[in-house]
Amino acid sequence: MSGNNKDLETLEQETKEWLYSLDYVLEHGGPERVTELLQQLQIRAHKAGVKIPFTANTPYINTIPREKQPPFPGNREIERRIKSIIRWNAMAMVVKANKMESGIGGHISTYASAATLYEIGFNHFFHGKGEDYDGDQIYFQGHASPGIYARAFLEGRLTIEQLENFRRELKPNGGLSSYPHPWLMPNFWEFPTVSMGLGPIMAIYQARFNRYLEDRGLKKPGGHVWAFLGDGETDEPEALGAITLASRERLDNLIFVINCNLQRLDGPVRGNGKIIQELEAAFRGAGWNVIKVIWGTDWDPLLDKDKDGKLVKRMSEVVDGEYQKYSVESGEYIRNHFFGKDPDVLKMAEKMTDEQLQKMKRGGHDPEKVYAAFKSATEHVGQPTVILAKTIKGYGLGESGEGKNITHQQKKLNEDEMKEFRSRFGIPISDDDIANAPFFRPSDDSSEMEYLKARRQELGGFVPSRKGDVRPIKTPPEEIFEEFYKGTEGREVSTTMVFVRILAKLLKDKEIGKYIVPIVPDEARTFGMESLFRQVGIYSHVGQLYEPVDRDSLLYYKEAKNGQILEEGITEAGSVSSFIAAGTAYATHGINMIPFFIYYSMFGMQRIGDFVWAAGDMRTKGFLIGGTAGRTTLNGEGLQHQDGHSHLLAYSVPTLVTYDPAFAFELAVIIRDGIKRMYEDKENIFYYITVMNENYPMPEMPGNVKEGIVKGMYKFKASDKKNAKMKAQLFGSGTILNEVLKAAAILEEEYKVASDVWSVTSYKELRKDALEVERWNLLHPNGPQKITYISKMLAKEEGVFVASSDYVKTLPDSVAKWFPRTLHSLGTDGFGRSDSRAALRDFFEVDAKHIVFAALNGLVKDGKLKPAELDKAMKKLGINPNKKNPMQS
């Protein structure tokens, strides 16, 4: 270092001059000028090859200094009392539930640490929906639900009985769900957050979708999205995985509040580090506005005294594990271990008693600090904000859990612990009553209740609250779909191409066109959707700031502020979050948006299954379209791309209606029916439809088979060989239906087997119907028995039953027991391969020859054909009995 040549005094003098200059500029030019100058200095130094140390961190103190703190507009005392009562009731709810019903669970410590964060929001910031749906969207941390219920109880929205039935949802009058579930409490919860990590990313895309609606003129500007999450939760890849989207899109309508209680379930989040600093660096690096709320008001005088930064240095060097220890230790311990490490720092605390030291608050428990942060966040322009609030897990639980590693699991308090809690928060419950952990609600005319209600009224009504009843949409007219009922007159197309054409037509429809939201994760060209780029534009808040490279072509890459397509890039998690935001817009904004999320089917259910589950919970509406589906239809791509099981995974989502259509008319009927059921009849369902990329002529709809298509199965082609001795009923789905048709022809021509061909559009729908009938008949044995749709269709059908699909055999097997006779299932169990369609269909044994052989085999078993015929057929068809089992190879 060249500075080494100078003597110490000169160096000190030089430093002083620089600092003096900085003070001068700050005084005369303000902070902006200082920033400008520092940037210039940085550039100059960088050009000269100076390596400037990088840190994305600021010191370990509050971002908003005391001088910049706004006055607190509320009544501190009343708000404290309200909060204390809510704390008590939240705790009592869990304790009671576990007293009466041991092991029923619940969480006390999460809300205990977050109470101030929520209460400042409820009293000053969270906007209710009002009449016009112009409120905020708030993602409450799932494990904090007892606190949210406890507040709703004070607000008069929940009864004592409901509180007593926390986690007892099957009680005759209903109970409260453990966590936020719109499916279970559709007038209360909006966002399921308890699968950790999903809340934060869904909130980001919610904020982005709000912007989309505003930019397209479908919603008034305004409202914030608040996402409350745990510090441990940020380890989930989804939690931080999309934060750059929020800053790139300048989502200043988005606020994350991360409750940094330094603990997760098992222990410290970062015992050896500092989660707040780690998160600060990540969010600042990603371009967010970061507000740290670390220290409470009682630290301010000490920080004022800290002229040489020794206290701040000490604050910055202590690791989280140690801070956690302070939260359970005495004042004396804190004096010795925190302050005592540096004599100057120790001196700062000399006038304070041990008790005072122990009671010094963390920022997240200080209403004035939290208020300042929230206010600053809501006023911040141009960036999303994250508030990193330091708290203590289990705050107020004292010996029974505050700051302890076991606190997350704490569900029971003994009498003494409850007395202590009661006294600490001043709840008017006598020692005699305390054993029952009674709920407490002040009288309606008390100052607390009046205050609380007035605040919510001023802020537009209660939160959380969900409205699900929106005006229905009129299903688009049949004319739009008729073209598809007619077939393609020999022209070869794929169901994917048909889907894109249906989508393009829906987008043009005067009534519903503007409500359609096409969503793609960088696969539009894969599905031949690029014509839509130009037709409706790709949404971008800033429009298009560049001349696209293909501007001269007809289908150029058009980005526009009122663009309609959400081109999400390579993020299925992000895309499905947009799908959910769009598909729940009827409830959040009162607008019936109709999302179509089209993606590679292999990167759907198995990759983002948890989101799809959450979508079901949220009563999301819309169409998930699994493209390039089918284990053998997507030739060439191989093991990772060939999907033979997404339909099986879709079985697990109760409200997901699934279809595997083969022909254009089927797809058209399904989509029209879907719009009708979801948006006109207002059913709480959503759709998963697979489309494939194999081209073949689309036939005309054979008569009125619409009902059968929707119900899951219809006879596509009846054999005209009425007097044949041998018969077969062949079932196919998706493109494999073509193999089934080929098989039928072979069976008829070469083996004299009359073969009817059925298209099975949905095994899941067939199974749902059958299960319902079976259950009804079981429970009503002496009444008239119902008949399954399968029976209605097949009871009189003769011959062998063979089903083949491009999906696993479990699909046909899932309905086999309701078939009149044995169903022989062919399917694509096993890992995919890269090869041609023909080779793959041979490998997986789902092609025409295997269907023929399975049918002949069945006929032999039924005694209709001699066994010797099978050897001959095997040779003729070219089936190798010793080929490898695709399941095991």
Ligand X SMILES: Cc1ncc(C[n+]2csc(CCOP(=O)(O)OP(=O)(O)O)c2C)c(N)n1
Residues interacting with ligand X, by CB under 6 A?
Answer: 110, 113, 143, 194-197, 230-233, 259, 261, 263-265, 269, 393, 408
Which residues, listed in sequence order, are joined to residue 219 by a DSSP beta bridge?
A: none
Interaxial angle between packed helices 868-877 and 848-861, expressed in degrees from 0 to 180 and rounded to the nearest 10: 180
196 binds, among ligand X, Mg ion, none (CB under 5 to 8 A by kind): ligand X
Q: Which is nearer to Mg ion, 196 or 846 (CB)?
A: 196
Q: Which is nearer to Mg ion, 142 or 732 (CB)?
A: 142
> How far, in Å, are 201, 265, 270, 649 from residue 607 at the CA level?
15, 26, 29, 11
Per DSSP, the three-state class of 416 is helix
112 binds, among ligand X, Mg ion, none (CB under 5 to 8 A by kind): none
DSSP labels, 359-388: HPPBGGG-HHHHHHHHHHHHH--SS-EEEE
Closest distance to ligand X from the beta carbon of 91 (Å): 15
292 binds, among Mg ion, ligand X, none (CB under 5 to 8 A by kind): none
DSSP labels, 15-66: HHHHHHHHHHHHHHHHHHHHHHHHHHHHHHHHHTT--PPP-----SS-SS-G
- What share of residues in the chain are helix, strand, coil (percent, to 5)? 45, 10, 40
Q: Which is nearer to ligand X, 197 or 626 (CB)?
A: 197
Structure tokens at 465: 């609250």
Least Cα distance to 752 among 881, 880, 875, 869 occurs for 869
Residues 6+ apart with CB under 8 A from 268: 262, 320, 321, 324, 405
368 binds, among ligand X, Mg ion, none (CB under 5 to 8 A by kind): none
Question: ∠ CA(21), CA(25), CA(31), 5° rounding?
Answer: 130
Closest chain position to Mg ion (CB): 230
143 binds, among ligand X, Mg ion, none (CB under 5 to 8 A by kind): ligand X
348 binds, among Mg ion, ligand X, none (CB under 5 to 8 A by kind): none
526 binds, among Mg ion, ligand X, none (CB under 5 to 8 A by kind): none
195 binds, among Mg ion, ligand X, none (CB under 5 to 8 A by kind): ligand X
Closest distance to ligand X from the beta carbon of 143 (Å): 5
Closest distance to Mg ion from the beta carbon of 62 (Å): 20
110 binds, among ligand X, Mg ion, none (CB under 5 to 8 A by kind): ligand X
Closest distance to ligand X from the beta carbon of 261 (Å): 5
Q: Which is nearer to ligand X, 111 or 853 (CB)?
A: 111
Which residues, listed in sequence order, are joined to residue 386 by a DSSP beta bridge?
A: 256, 290
Closest distance to Mg ion from the beta carbon of 198 (Å): 17
Q: 664 to 723, contacts with Mg ion by CB under 5 A?
A: none
Closest distance to ligand X from the beta carbon of 259 (Å): 5
Secondary structure string (H, E, C) spanning 499-519 = HHHHHHHHHHCCCCHHHEEEE
Give the H or E element holding residue 89.
helix 76-100
**By CB under 5 A, how many residues form the interface with Mg ion?**
5
Closest distance to ligand X from the beta carbon of 844 (Å): 35
Structure tokens at 619: 């009563």
Is the peptide bond preceding residue 464 cis, with omega within 30 degrees of 0?
A: yes
Q: Which is nearer to Mg ion, 233 or 568 (CB)?
A: 233
Which residues, listed in sequence order, are joined to residue 656 by a DSSP beta bridge?
A: 686
265 binds, among ligand X, Mg ion, none (CB under 5 to 8 A by kind): ligand X
Q: Which is nearer to Mg ion, 84 or 110 (CB)?
A: 110
Fill in the DSSP letter of residue 673: H
> How far, in Å, are 113, 330, 341, 450 from residue 392 at the CA level?
5, 15, 23, 30
Q: Which part of the chain contacts Mg ion (CB under 5 A), choosing from 223-231, 353-361, 549-557, 752-760?
A: 223-231
Query: What span, in angstroms and rounded, lies between the C-alpha atoms of 60 and 293?
Result: 10
Q: How far is CA 534 from the centre of its chain?
A: 30
Fill in the DSSP letter of residue 782: T
Closest distance to Mg ion from the beta carbon of 547 (Å): 48
Query: What span, in angstroms and rounded, lies between the C-alpha atoms of 44 and 448?
Result: 59
Q: Which is nearer to Mg ion, 261 or 571 (CB)?
A: 261
Q: Which is nearer to ligand X, 141 or 601 (CB)?
A: 141
Closest distance to ligand X from the beta carbon of 106 (Å): 12
Closest distance to ligand X from the beta carbon of 709 (Å): 38
Q: Which part of the chain contacts Mg ion (CB under 5 A), choosing from 258-266, 394-402, 628-636, 677-685?
A: 258-266
Q: Per rule CB under 5 A, is residue 320 in the interface with Mg ion? A: no
Residue type, 73: P
Q: Per rule CB under 5 A, is residue 232 in the interface with Mg ion? A: yes
* Dihedral angle sign, alpha carbons of residues 207, 210, 216, 220: negative
Structure tokens at 267: 């222990």
Closest distance to Mg ion from the beta carbon of 368 (Å): 23
Closest distance to ligand X from the beta carbon of 296 (Å): 19
Closest distance to ligand X from the beta carbon of 319 (Å): 17
What distance separates the 2 farthest-apart alpha carbons in the chain? 114
Q: Which is nearer to Mg ion, 232 or 626 (CB)?
A: 232
Closest distance to Mg ion from the beta carbon of 267 (Å): 10
Q: Which is nearer to ligand X, 188 or 611 (CB)?
A: 611
Q: Which is nearer to ligand X, 324 or 759 (CB)?
A: 324
| Contact string 260-299 vs Mg ion (x = CB under 5 A) | -x-x------------------------------------
Q: How many CA atoms lie within 13 A of 280 on its CB side?
A: 23
Least Cα distance to 142 among 205, 190, 207 occurs for 190
Structure tokens at 653: 């989502």
Q: Residue 509 class from Cβ within 10 Å (0-12 exposed, 13-18 middle, 19+ buried)?
A: middle
Q: Which part of the chain contacts Mg ion (CB under 5 A), choosing from 119-127, 224-232, 328-336, 756-764?
A: 224-232
Q: Which is nearer to ligand X, 263 or 735 (CB)?
A: 263
Query: What span, in angstroms and rounded, lies between the C-alpha atoms of 713 and 309?
Result: 76
- Which of residues 79, 190, 231, 739 is near Mg ion by CB under 5 A? 231
233 binds, among Mg ion, ligand X, none (CB under 5 to 8 A by kind): ligand X
Q: Which is nearer to ligand X, 413 or 480 (CB)?
A: 413
Closest chain position to ligand X (CB): 230
Structure tokens at 32: 């902006």
Q: Which is nearer to ligand X, 192 or 518 (CB)?
A: 192
Q: Which is nearer to ligand X, 264 or 809 (CB)?
A: 264
Closest distance to Mg ion from the beta carbon of 288 (Å): 20
Query: What span, in angstroms and rounded, lies between the C-alpha atoms of 869 and 877?
Result: 12
507 binds, among ligand X, Mg ion, none (CB under 5 to 8 A by kind): none
Closest distance to ligand X from the beta carbon of 196 (Å): 4
In the chain, DSSP finds a helix count (H) and a strand count (E) of: 34, 20
Residue 436 near residue 415, CB atoms below 8 Å: no
In the block, tokens 């998690």 appear at: 573
Q: Which is nearer to Mg ion, 230 or 401 (CB)?
A: 230
- Which of residues 121, 180, 200, 230 is near Mg ion by CB under 5 A? 230
Q: Per rule CB under 5 A, is residue 626 in the interface with Mg ion? A: no
799 binds, among ligand X, Mg ion, none (CB under 5 to 8 A by kind): none
Q: Which is nearer to ligand X, 189 or 663 (CB)?
A: 189
Closest distance to ligand X from the beta carbon of 231 (Å): 5
- Which residues in this chain contact Mg ion in the complex, by CB under 5 A? 230-232, 261, 263
